[in-house]
């Protein structure tokens, strides 16, 4: 079993920045791929970015310029740095982890971009 706990969400003005965290209950060195997803109100959940245990990253094309995914395996934590936030970035952001062929999800953290 892997437990994931997200934090760092909140209310931010357009153009602002936030960094989300996803803390894992096991050593991150043992986790293959981790990823961030988001779900806006009334929309389907969408993949945002992913990162392998070795640090290789992939991004949704439209977010690559503003978002950065990284992980600190020593802290068992993955992060998502979000810059130049827009109202359309408003969503519940969730992390997941692939561990021993099973995918685990966190509970999500709300990000609201509004003036």
Percent of the chain scored above 90 by pLDDT?
89
**Per-position DSSP letters for the chain, written without gaps between them:** ---EEEE--EEE-TT--EEEEEEESS-GGG---EEEEEE-TTS--EEEEEE-TT--EEE-GGGTTTEEEEEEGGGTEEEEEE-S--GGG-EEEEEEEEETTEEEE---EEEEE--
Q: Name the residue with higher pLDDT: 80 or 28.
A: 80
The rounded mean pLDDT for the chain is 95
Could you report the per-residue pLDDT of 36-78, keeping only the tens digit for each?
Answer: 999 999 999 999 999 998 899 999 999 999 999 999 988 999 9
The pLDDT confidence band at residue 28, using thresholds 50, 70 and 90, is: confident
């Amino acid at each position: 079993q892997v437990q994931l706990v997200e934090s760092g969400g909140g209310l931010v003005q357009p153009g602002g920045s936030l960094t989300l965290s996803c803390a894992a209950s096991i050593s991150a060195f043992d986790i293959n791929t981790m990823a961030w997803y988001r779900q806006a109100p009334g929309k389907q959940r969408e993949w945002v970015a992913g990162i392998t245990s070795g640090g290789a990253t992939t991004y949704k094309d439209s977010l690559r310029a503003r978002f950065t995914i990284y992980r600190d395996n020593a802290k068992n934590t993955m992060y998502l740095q979000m810059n130049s936030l827009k109202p359309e970035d408003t969503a519940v952001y969730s992390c997941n982890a692939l561990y021993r062929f099973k995918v685990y999800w966190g509970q999500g953290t709300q990000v609201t971009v509004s003036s």
